[in-house]
Amino acid sequence: MNYETIIYSVENGVAEIRFNRPHRLNAVVTEFYAEVVDALNQAENDVDVRTIVLTGEGRAFCVGADLKEHKKGERTELEKLEYLNLANDVCQRIYEHPKVVIAAVNGFALGAGFEMSVSADFILMKDTAQIGSPETSIGTFVGGAVTETLPRIVGLSKARELIFTGRRIDGVEAHSIGLATRVFPEEEFATGVKEFAEVIGSKAPFSMRFAKQHLNDMHQDYKSRLATEVASLRTCMLTKDWQEGVDAFAEKRKPVFKGC
């Protein structure tokens, strides 16, 4: 379908959702959130899509809420609530999506941009890109379950620093604290993201889905985790991909997984 605020494309098993409001540094409005959710649903239903990349058009990933729209003060209380719920829906959809989601942070990732990035499975950044959560500096608050996910990624002390101070950090520092998985100079960014996404996409889909579910679920105890891992392994063993993996190993070739 045609979108107004994003560009959706699929190539080599990678679905790219490109935020497309460069005139506003990809600041979010209600329509933006609704279209991102729709694109994520489309990617889930496409059997050819193995990984999803979120990125931004222009010099920003996403700078957060469109404060120009907020300042108009034209929305009803119900519309404001709808906007906030959509913001959470996007982050939850990213976090719980059955396919791996990569935030390719090409420029400023602030506020909502930060929240979507932290909700993704991986953050890849340009070395000059900046990421941060400025909410405490403008009298608002974080969303998207950042207070749950961020401490798990960088530790509680560093999460406190980033949220309390609202400080922006570049790709190099983000990588040094474990927030960014990879950091690239500008001229290598597009190729680096593409190669990383395709490597992830080459793995067995059932295996990847179970891995994401288990790594994201921190509320099971040890014995429960043993049981769910066995159940997931047993499911994998019932797939054609499991046999393909066994055959490829024996034949010393690269496996070709079909997701079945």
The domain defined by 6-201 folds into 2-enoyl-CoA Hydratase; Chain A, domain 1 (3.90.226)
In angstroms, the CA 157 to CA 163 distance is 10
- Compute the average pLDDT of residues 231-248: 96
Residue 10, strand partner residues: 15
**Is a pLDDT exceeding 70 seen at residue 70?**
no
Each residue of 74-121: pLDDT tens digit? 778 888 888 899 999 999 999 999 999 999 999 999 999 999 999 999
Contact assessment for residue 132 and residue 110, using Cβ atoms and an 8 Å cutoff:
yes
Q: Collapse the DSSP code of 101 into the 3-class scheme (helix H, G, I; strand E, B; otherwise coil) and give the result.
A: strand
Residues acting as catalytic residues: 115, 135
- Compute the average pLDDT of residues 135-149: 94
Domain ranges of the chain: 6-201, 205-250
For CA atoms 126, 127, 128, 132, give the dihedral sign: positive
**Is a pLDDT exceeding 90 seen at residue 239?**
yes
Kindly state the percentage of the chain with pLDDT values over 90: 89
- Compute the average pLDDT of residues 22-49: 96
Q: Collapse the DSSP code of 175 into the 3-class scheme (helix H, G, I; strand E, B; otherwise coil) and give the result.
A: helix
The pTM for the full model equals 0.94
Q: Which CATH architecture has domain 205-250?
A: Orthogonal Bundle (1.10)
- Compute the average pLDDT of residues 230-240: 96
Each residue of 169-217: pLDDT tens digit? 999 999 999 999 999 999 999 999 999 999 999 999 999 999 999 999 8
What angle, 0 to 180 degrees and rounded to 10, lies between the N-to-C axes of helices 146-154 and 112-119? 60
Q: What is the token pair recorded at 112?
A: 């909502």
Q: Any idea what the Cα angle at residue 14 is, between residues 92 and 228, rounded to 5°?
A: 50
Contact assessment for residue 108 and residue 154, using Cβ atoms and an 8 Å cutoff:
no
